Amino acid sequence: MSLFSRFRKPPSPSVPVKPPETVAPKAPEPLAPEAALASAQEEQSLQAAIAAGDTQAIARLVIDGASTKIRQLAAEAIDDPAQIRQLIRDARGGKDKSVYKILTHKRDLLLAQEREVEHLHAEVAAAAAAIEKHSHRAFDPMFTPTLEQLESRWQAVAEHAAPDIAEKARQAIDRARETIAQHLRQIAAEAARQLAAANAATQAQLQREQDEKAAAAAATERAQVQEAEHKAETEKHDAEAKALRQIGGLVRKAHGALAAGSSKTAAGLRRGIEDKLAHAPALPAHLANQLRQLDEKLQELKDWKSFSVAPKRIELIERMESLIGATLHPTALAGHIKDLQEQWRTLSKGAGENGEAEWQRFHEAAQKAFQPCREFFEAQDKVKEENLRLRGLLFERLAAFEAQHNWEQPDWRNVITAVRESRQLWREHSPVDPVAAEELQGRFNALTAALQSRIDVEYARNVKEKKSLIERARALAGSAETRRAIDEVKRLQEQWKDIGPVSRDDDRKLWEEFRKHCDALFQKRQQEFATQHAALDSNKSQAVGLCEEVEKIAELSGQELLEGAKKLPDLRASFDAIEELPKANARQLQSRFERAFERCRKAVAQQHAREAEEGWAALLDASNAVRAHRLALVQDAADRDSLREAAEAQLTRPIKWPKRGLDVLKHALAQPGSTDLATSELALRTLCVRAEILTDSPTPSADQTLRREYQVKRLMQSMGQGIKSEEGLDALTLEWLAVGPIEEGTYLQLLERFKSCRGKAL
């Protein structure tokens, strides 16, 4: 739709459209209800034609429909391609481009559909031909995947195929599938034959291998049995010879021990000989004679010692039995048991007399008494092993921490924590076996010492930096510029936080000294704040008083408001002269003063606007008197002189007339009345329309046509130059005053419309 079609109707064949200033009075246009009725009847005709399928009637409405809506609806209802092409030729270059676009769009859609159908038919034929050709091929490795692709291609278009083509395609697909099935049957038969032959060959081979393995196993077993028998015989002979040699050696050692006076050693050796006799062959005569002599000597010693030590052994046995179930600590209990065992060994030195029953009794009592100790020591051993394992893991973690830490930018708090917690956990993982833990303890000590050395270097550097900050804080405490010193000491406090760690003792001492100097400066600031607070309270009271004074002025009206507004510059200067306000109230007081000042400014502006509007209202009222006189001149009325006197009296009232307004009215009063009342009325109506456009006010239905024509005129005049902004209401009012006379009833209606626009703008 073109830009102008929204504002003008199709021109009448006999009356061309011209600008309002040069057009002669036209015949009244059809009333809106009649146009609406005609449009409704035409729409009903269109619906009836659509329902009846009367394409000729619909086509006529496409070209000759009275409204754009009817022509568009009719164009949407056309579906016949030939008729659409004909209507495109008829509508080309016509007055309604939207209809032409609808028709061309429908034509493009039909052409696209035709091309799609043609493409679809071609695809159906191509797919069917490809399947037919493929079904006659011999089977090869690509036969099956190609068929699957062709079937997918066919399925995509099969529903659009003719029945005969679809049947041929189905037969071709079946034929191709039969080719695949035949090939599969051949493959299956060949595979079955090859499998049977392979199974028979495999079975024969397995049987041969089993026979060979059985023969080899039997031969190996016989050889092993023979070798084992020979080896056993040899080993038996060697063992018997060795046993006799050992027994002979023990007999000689026992005789030697007796000769040296060590009866206990001799008795022990005799027990060893007895153990070996159980597995030895018959002794030779010389060796049997030596053993008999040894036994006789040992028996003599046993009889003598039993007489002297037997009571003491009984005492040790009883003391050991008394320790069974004792409530002593396992460590103390183990000490008592060990002491009794040492005494028993002391008594047993000498000849090994036959005290096996007593020894057995003593040994069993010792075992029973030691059982709690054994359980305790076993548990202790497990604890030591676990602690040693945990120490190993702890060392590995600490070593990994030391290796992976970024020593270019170390996190000293993490390093200190790691060392402290590692040492604490190391102590907690105790007891341990000193011998087993000795090497790990050395490595741990070396690692923690290396880390502590790094920490000590960092401690020293940080202590130096903190002492430097303490000296700077001491200097600032005596500064005369407290505020600047406070800002500086705050920066020092931030720097203090950024300094790395120091030892706990140094940190506490250094911080107390640093805080002492900072507190002294803050106390000094508190004293200054007390003095400053009093000044701020005074400034606040002054600011509140100024706000209240401006707020009182804002409540005034009329001449009192204008008089009070004269003090606003001084009040502004006084408020701006206040140097400082309390932070908690500064923004609120500033906002309060600005709001009150803005209210005063707006009240003064509104007062001036009301006064100015009173002058314009007086001008418009006086213009009515001038209009009455000029109308009387046109009608040659008898009261024209009295009307002139009344108009002159209006113009001489003591009113602050708007600039140029009084001159325009005086000039209009001096002019003779125009006899073209219709032109004057059109001019005033046009001014009302222009004012309504300017203030975005509605225009009565009777002047809607005039409003559209005026807007079209503005657009035509601004073509190529851009649409200029509308003149102001004051300029329109001056034009109003210069317009010729019209009838009073019409004038008063138009004047009310014009005043309403001025009131809305105000």
445-449, 546-550, 555-559, 591-595: which has the highest mean pLDDT? 445-449
Mean pLDDT for all residues in the chain: 81
DSSP 282-303: PPPHHHHHHHHHHHHHHHHHHH
pLDDT at 27 over 70: no
Report pLDDT digits (tens) over 44-56.
888 888 888 888 8
Distances (CA, A) of 588 to 33, 576, 594: 62, 15, 10
* Residue 360 confidence class, pLDDT cut points 50, 70, 90: confident
* Residue 303 confidence class, pLDDT cut points 50, 70, 90: low
Q: Which long-range contacts (CB under 8 A, 24 or more apart) does 135-142 make?
A: 135/172, 135/173, 135/175, 135/176, 135/179, 136/175, 137/179, 138/179, 139/179, 139/180, 139/182, 139/183
Distance CA 685, CA 691 (A): 10
Contacts of 172 (CB under 8 A, 6+ apart): 128, 131, 132, 134, 135
The whole-number average pLDDT for the span 440-448 is 91
Hey, what amino acid is at 495? Answer: Q
Instruction: Give residue 31's pLDDT.
Output: 42
The whole-number average pLDDT for the span 516-541 is 80
User: Angle formed by the axes of helices 677-694 and 729-738, to 10°?
Assistant: 170
pLDDT at 90 over 50: yes
CB 631 within 8 A of CB 681: no
Report pLDDT digits (tens) over 478-505.
887 887 888 888 898 888 888 888 888 8
* Residue 17 confidence class, pLDDT cut points 50, 70, 90: very low
User: Angle formed by the axes of helices 504-555 and 583-635, to 10°?
Assistant: 30
Closest CA to 732 of 689, 679, 691: 691
pTM, 2 dp: 0.32
Distance CA 548, CA 528 (A): 30
Report pLDDT digits (tens) over 284-300.
888 788 878 877 777 66
| Token reading at 45 | 């005709």
pLDDT at 28 over 50: no
Contacts of 115 (CB under 8 A, 6+ apart): none
Cβ burial, residue 55 (10 Å; 0-12/13-18/19+): middle
* Residue 581 confidence class, pLDDT cut points 50, 70, 90: confident
* Residue 35 confidence class, pLDDT cut points 50, 70, 90: low
pLDDT at 6 over 60: no
* Residue 14 confidence class, pLDDT cut points 50, 70, 90: very low
3-state secondary structure string, 337-352?
HHHHHHHHHHHHCCCC
Report pLDDT digits (tens) over 323-350.
888 888 888 888 888 888 888 777 666 5
* Residue whose pair of structure tokens reads 């020894």 in the numeric block: 359
Distance CA 664, CA 683 (A): 16
User: Angle formed by the axes of helices 143-157 and 163-259, to 10°?
Assistant: 130
Q: How far is CA 56 from the centre of its chain?
A: 64
pLDDT at 117 over 60: yes
Instruction: Give residue 442's pLDDT.
Output: 92
Residue 431 preceded by cis peptide, ω within 30:
yes
Distance CA 261, CA 344 (A): 19
Report pLDDT digits (tens) over 678-728.
888 888 999 999 999 989 999 999 899 989 888 888 887 766 454 444 468
How many helices and strands in the chain, by DSSP H and E?
Answer: 24, 0
Instruction: Give residue 701's pLDDT.
Output: 92
Distance CA 743, CA 677 (A): 8
Instruction: Give residue 103's pLDDT.
Output: 85
Hey, what amino acid is at 618? Answer: A
* Residue 23 confidence class, pLDDT cut points 50, 70, 90: very low
